[in-house]
Amino acid sequence: MVLKKEELAWAERYWTTTNYIAAAAIYLRDNFLLERTLQKKDIKDALLGHWGTCPGINFIYTHLNLLAFKKEQQILLLVGPGHGFAAVLAHLYLEGSLQKYYPDLTHDAEGLGRVIKSFCWPEGFPSHLNPGVPGCIHEGGELGYALGTAFGAAFDNPDLLVAAIIGDGEAETGPTATAWHSTKFLNAAGDGAVLPILHLNGYKINSPSIYGTMSDSELRSLFIGYGYTPFFVGTSHNEMASALEKSHALIQEIKQKARQKRVKRTPSWPMIILKTPKGWTGIKNHNGERIEGSYRSHQVPIKDPKTNQHSLKEIEHWLRKYNPQKLFPQGKVDASLMRFVPQGAASIGGNPHAIGGDKRVQLKLPDAHAYAVKVKKPGALTASSTANFAQYLTEVMVQNSAARNFRIMSPDELASNRLDAVLRVTNRAYSWPHSNDDETLAPEGRVMEMLSEHTLQSWLQGYVLTGRHGIFPSYEAFLPIVDSMVSQYLKFITTSQEYPWRTPVSALNYILTSVCWRQDHNGFSHQNPGFITTLLNKAREEQLVRLYFPADANMFLVVGEHILQSTNRVNVVVADKQIIRQWLSYDEAVKQAKRGAAIWDFASNANPDIVLAACGDYQTQEMLAAISILKTSLPELKIRFVNVSELNVLGAEGVYPNALSELAFNQLFTSDREVIFAFHGYPSAIKQILFDRVKSVDLARFSTTGYIESGTTTTPFDMLVRNGVSRYHFIIEAATRGAKQNKAIASKTAGLVATCKKKLDEHHAYIVREGHDPQEINDWQWK
């Protein structure tokens, strides 16, 4: 395809204009159109930004504008090399989408000067893509996630084309490598499309990129193997326009055939491989060293114009090559420059899907009470918290099937985590050929399973940030894989709240199950509650994280209903899949959930000598087992039992969200009694969250236990023993500490402690001999 003369002239002019704005934004604080000789005072003191990728981004964005205009195609753009924000800023300014939210960034000399100066300027725009500009659902500061996030945005958006720019460095990351397989989960009939654009300029920060050193033949073979039809493009406007037209036509053909049920089972989706020099159109050489086409153009090509007159002249010569006064006649953006640029909601930056809160529709939720476990007596019934919640999720799927705005994204663990009841009403999403024995796979499935936590996280982020809802169930041990990703996501949500036009999006919801305490069969590698600790840090810093530890199925159900309604948060629900004892009625669970912690009267005395507390399902069950023995062996010891179902409430007011007041905290834990606290995760997490209460609470009276990195392939009860959170450990500590307050039990304490230590020795001998826990442990019931 050859562009018309008018189109070619426009493309060259528009691209040149954006290159000038991007370069000027890195350097200039004044003299924005070079109306006089460039002086040192015109240069910013802090030179920041990444020039090397900008010309390529500008080239791509220019031609995406042309495609969107000619085909009336709505396009959402994700820029993996988000550090090239100076380029994106230039386009958002020219297309007018920026002015909608920043009225002073007008298309005249004053507005142009403001946008150039605002880049990397205090109270201006940062160096990376960010929520402070429209069109953005992915910052790109941390490389690897653009492609997966693009697919998340495309799911259930049948008319949307998501273009994803992937840079040299990003292409080398593990998350990107797995995200290429996302086409195998894309439903050509009901989903949108993703057009990956691999931008190879040959270098990363200091080294040649892997993909940049591969031949075209090698690259073609690689991406054909992934399932793509690659189009190679060089530095020609005609080549780029042709590749985009062919890609768009191929996408439309695939989608049309799918809707007519004539789809090829392995459609070969298009992608573009663009090869340009790094720092294209910039400074060729400086001080005898190559700049354009080398790693030296990656960030700021010349760093010393404030102190070096020769460098200042080089920069002026470079910027004048763009002929800014001709680009901006009378200092204004020429209206003819907008000839092929879509406007308003049709513009790339103005794409409404990027403001997901505006697209969000509240989920239709069934009455959770109808799925409650009928608890009439504490501890009498047993159930699986996740299996029970799965019944509720099944109805959530049914009630929202028409809206197609809810998905479950999980590693290959849905059945293992006992959430597979949802497969009665939906399938697992998969579009490529598979065996007839795999009867739960179908292109329109609402469950997405892939053994790449990175890709699942990317999918869910893209899905949620474009206005939909989802949950991410996983084995507890493996969610630390996405620690960094969720941290970046929280930064995005935190920053979004600074802009009123960024309306709230659905919460990002995790369910951590197959927990460390019942990974006795899989062993030490599967025993890791570290994700909780990472998110606890963010709960303090970002105020957007809620950590839930429901002790039974009804509490899980109440919490589960709540997280599906919440917005602008990250919710983490930690509960095991195994069958455990049930404690609270539904109404009691609702009451406790409002506060996040409660005294369980059925296991407590008035005016206690000591407080026993638990956060976590197995910790709750074990602590209650200890209390039942203490009630028989030391009836004189007065005990209060406190169950904590939301970890945040332990923190200080104003530091952690939903924290208990000082009065409410002391109502639970007293103001002076010793507290034995059993936690699901690392004990340091409880010490951390309590630290900010040090002014109002004597923390020395809190004794905290939890997972202390002691595990192996063993029995379930032995996992508790190994980490010092068994009933016998709690009895020993409660009796010893309680005797300080209640002298009447002092004479009985030594005997009870000796009995418990003997029980621990007998337990070890028993499991070594028999290979399973004793019957008195397995069959224990609350009395």
Q: Is residue 586 part of a domain?
A: no
Q: Is residue 590 part of a domain?
A: no
Check residue 265 and give its pLDDT: 74
Q: What is the pLDDT of residues 369-392, one digit of tens each?
A: 999 999 999 999 999 999 999 999
Q: What is the pLDDT of residues 273-309, one digit of tens each?
A: 999 999 999 999 999 999 999 999 999 999 999 999 9
What is the CATH classification number for the domain harbouring 622?
Answer: 3.40.50.920
CB atoms within 10 A of CB 304: 13
The one-character DSSP state at 180 is G
Assess whether 692 and 552 both reside in one domain: no
Q: What is the pLDDT of residues 640-675, one digit of tens each?
A: 999 999 999 999 988 898 999 999 999 999 999 999
Check residue 633 and give its pLDDT: 92
> Does the structure show a pLDDT above 90 at 518?
no
Check residue 344 and give its pLDDT: 94
What would the two tokens of residue 378 be? 């504490």
Assess whether 139 and 176 both reside in one domain: yes
Assess whether 381 and 321 both reside in one domain: no
Check residue 519 and give its pLDDT: 81
Assess whether 300 and 174 both reside in one domain: yes
CB atoms within 10 A of CB 611: 22
In contact, 573 and 511? CB cutoff 8 Å: yes
Assess whether 294 and 434 both reside in one domain: no
Q: Is residue 1 part of a domain?
A: no
Assess whether 526 and 656 both reside in one domain: no
Give me the mean pLDDT over the 135-164 stretch: 96
Q: Is residue 362 part of a domain?
A: yes
pLDDT band, residue 251 (cuts 50/70/90) = very high
Closest CA to 629 of 753, 494, 490: 753
In contact, 388 and 557? CB cutoff 8 Å: yes
Q: What is the pLDDT of residues 528-541, one digit of tens each?
A: 898 999 999 888 87
Please give the residue that has the higher pLDDT: either 438 or 751. 751
**Alpha helices (H) in 449-525, listed in sequence order:** 453-465, 483-496
Q: Is residue 564 part of a domain?
A: yes
Q: Is residue 313 part of a domain?
A: yes
579-581 vs 382-384, strand pairing mode: antiparallel
Give me the mean pLDDT over the 454-483 stretch: 96
Instruction: Give me the numbers of helices (H) and strands (E) for the chain, helices first please.
Output: 25, 22
Average pLDDT, the chain: 94
Q: What is the pLDDT of residues 434-461, one digit of tens each?
A: 888 888 899 999 999 999 999 999 999 9
What is the CATH classification number for the domain harbouring 13?
Answer: 3.40.50.970
In contact, 323 and 24? CB cutoff 8 Å: no
Q: What percent of the chain has pLDDT over 70?
A: 99
Q: Is residue 783 part of a domain?
A: no
289-290 vs 285-286, strand pairing mode: antiparallel
> Does the structure show a pLDDT above 80 at 695?
no
Assess whether 287 and 372 both reside in one domain: no
> Does the structure show a pLDDT above 70 at 696?
no
pLDDT band, residue 271 (cuts 50/70/90) = very high
Domain stops at, among 551, 581, 611:
581
Give dist(CA 759, CA 762) in Å, integer: 5
pLDDT band, residue 744 (cuts 50/70/90) = confident
Assess whether 638 and 551 both reside in one domain: no
Closest CA to 517 of 503, 532, 498, 534: 532
> Does the structure show a pLDDT above 80 at 752?
yes
Helix (H/G/I), strand (E/B), else coil: 632 = helix
In contact, 287 and 308? CB cutoff 8 Å: no
Q: How many domains does the chain have?
A: 3
289-290 vs 428-429, strand pairing mode: unpaired
In contact, 512 and 576? CB cutoff 8 Å: no
Contacts of 324 (CB under 8 A, 6+ apart): 20, 24, 32, 33, 34
Please give the residue that has the higher pLDDT: either 521 or 390. 390
Assess whether 400 and 489 both reside in one domain: yes
Assess whether 310 and 382 both reside in one domain: no
Q: What is the pLDDT of residues 572-613, one digit of tens each?
A: 999 999 999 999 999 999 999 999 999 999 999 999 999 999
Assess whether 506 and 456 both reside in one domain: yes
Q: Is residue 242 part of a domain?
A: yes
The one-character DSSP state at 507 is P
> Which domain range does residue 378 map to?
358-581
Check residue 770 and give its pLDDT: 94
The one-character DSSP state at 125 is B
Q: What is the pLDDT of residues 345-377, one digit of tens each?
A: 999 999 999 999 999 999 999 999 999 999 999
User: Which residue is associated with the tokens 């402690």?
Assistant: 753
Assess whether 236 and 269 both reside in one domain: yes
Domain stops at, among 293, 315, 345:
345
Give dist(CA 66, CA 11) in Å, integer: 8
Domain stops at, among 520, 546, 581:
581
Give me the mean pLDDT over the 388-417 stretch: 95
Which amino acid makes up residue 634? L
User: Which residue is associated with the tokens 């090509």?
Assistant: 301
In contact, 114 and 124? CB cutoff 8 Å: no
> Does the structure show a pLDDT above 80 at 315?
yes
